[in-house]
Amino acid sequence: MTIPVSLIEEAINWRRQLHARPELGYQEHQTSRMVAEQLRAFGLQVHTGLAGTGVVGTLENGPGPVIGLRADMDALPMTELGNPPHKSNHPGVMHACGHDGHTAILLATAKLLSQTRRFSGTLHFVFQPAEENLGGARKMVEDGLFTLFPMDAIYGLHNWPGLPIGAVAVNSGVMMASLDSFEITLTGKSCHAAMPESGADPIVTAAELIMALQTIPARRLSPLASAVVSITQINGGEAINVIPEQVKLRGTVRCLQSEVRTKVRGLIDEFVTTLPTPFDVEGTINWYPGYPVTKNHPQPAINVREAAISALGEDALRWEVNPSMASEDFGCMLEACPGAYFWIGADGDTPSRPLHNAWYDFNDAIIEQGIGIWLRLVERLLALK
């Protein structure tokens, strides 16, 4: 199916509008309204309100399979440093991960398929809020996404700096790591900095604990297991001549295997409660709900592979690549429904800025390719009889 140039231009315009007015997770009110209005204009049935700002557009065309295509909509709490004509006009918020592009690609796909109807079955176009750290996918599932809209499978894409334009990466299993966040509180006894023996120092304890936690992936796990433990914040102390009563550490854990995830959490708990004891300091930890491993189901992954080859050619395919230690809440959807998640290359003549970089801007040149893969996937799975 040929993609009209006018549609690609319209999708680029949507993308740049979204980039100029980014919204944080669960605050995507303008974005949600724009998506819903467009879907209704295409003639789709539209459901709003899942996870607050989520939108589902349904396109039926006779009997057949039912599949979902998903795009994320939220931006990040970052100040944009680049200066494109469509630069963010919301201070401290920017689309630094390409969700503006993902949304535009899916909208354009919905528009074209609503016009051509070259498929037999039902399509659910799922526009998800709050992918960035807030678990919008889990919330959509909890709000009844797959109960209200039963699906045979669901699929998601993400632009990927580091892969060239024209490349698609997909695995039959794990694509991205799990994510868990934690806050450790170390409580000692404050005292004068000149008389540390009269207190119990949580800062020294924090230093020892941080280094000890790094031995978990290095010495407590098999070299074949994959885990990253990162302390990203240290907060404690008020006066330069006072050893504080408390220090708080915050960080994340990322793993590629569910069993490793469970083991690492247990080991961190053990370190936090036992290591501070000789320092006369008490350690406690609070865990925050994270994302599961993003693990593709084998047959849906093969479906993506074949669609990518059909759309872009055999040379485009990167099959069974190294997973990323970054995380993606699409894994919550894959726990509830079969499906697959894949990356589409973003590097043109010059490499793309990394994701979550203040100079990043989505590469509009891949919009046509994204639409093309979605079309080939629909044609493959919902073939006209």
Tens digits of residue pLDDT in 121-150? 999 999 999 999 899 999 999 999 999 999
With CA atoms as reference, report the closest residue to 243 among 283, 190, 206, 188: 190
* 159 and 366 Cβ atoms separated by less than 8 Å: yes
Residues 218-260: tens digit of each pLDDT: 999 998 899 999 999 999 999 999 999 999 999 999 999 999 9
Farthest CA pair distance, the chain? 84
**148 touches 92 (CB < 8 A):** no
Which pLDDT value is given to residue 280?
97
Q: For 345-373, what is the mean pLDDT? A: 96
Cα–Cα dist 341/354, whole Å: 19
Provide the terminal-to-terminal Cα distance of the chain, rounded to the nearest Å. 17
Q: Average the pLDDT over 361-385 and give the result.
A: 95
Residues 6 or more apart whose CB falls under 8 angstroms from that of 266 comprise none
Q: Tell me which of 301 and 349 has the higher pLDDT.
A: 301
Residue 112 pLDDT exceeds 80: yes
Kindly state the average pLDDT of the residues 308-323. Answer: 96
Name the residue with tokens 């120092």.
201
Mean pLDDT score across all residues of the chain: 96
Measured CA to CA in angstroms, residue 180 lies from 135, 274, 287 at distances of 11, 21, 7
* 384 has pLDDT over 90: no
pLDDT at 202 over 70: yes
- pLDDT tens digit sequence for 266-291: 999 999 999 999 999 999 999 997 89
Q: Is the pLDDT of residue 385 over 70?
A: no
Residue 356, pLDDT above cutoff 80: yes
Per-residue confidence at 2, pLDDT binned at 50, 70, 90? confident
Mean pLDDT of 313-342: 96
Burial of 255 (0-12, 13-18, 19+ CB in 10 A): buried
Q: What is the dihedral of CA 274, 279, 284, 287, to 10 degrees?
A: -70
> What angle, 0 to 180 degrees and rounded to 10, lies between the N-to-C axes of helices 5-20 and 99-116?
150
Between vectors from CA 280 to CA 181 and to CA 234, what angle results, nearest 5°?
Answer: 30
CA distance 342 to 358: 24
Whether 161 contacts 75, CB under 8 Å: no
Q: Output the pLDDT for position 289.
A: 76
Model confidence at 209: pLDDT above 80: yes
pLDDT the model gives residue 143: 97
What is the percent of the chain with per-residue pLDDT over 70, rounded to a whole number? 99
Would you state the pLDDT for residue 349? Answer: 86
pLDDT of res. 188: 98
pLDDT band at 71 (very low <50, low <70, confident <90, very high): very high
Asked whether the CA dihedral 322, 323, 324, 325 is positive or negative, the reply is negative
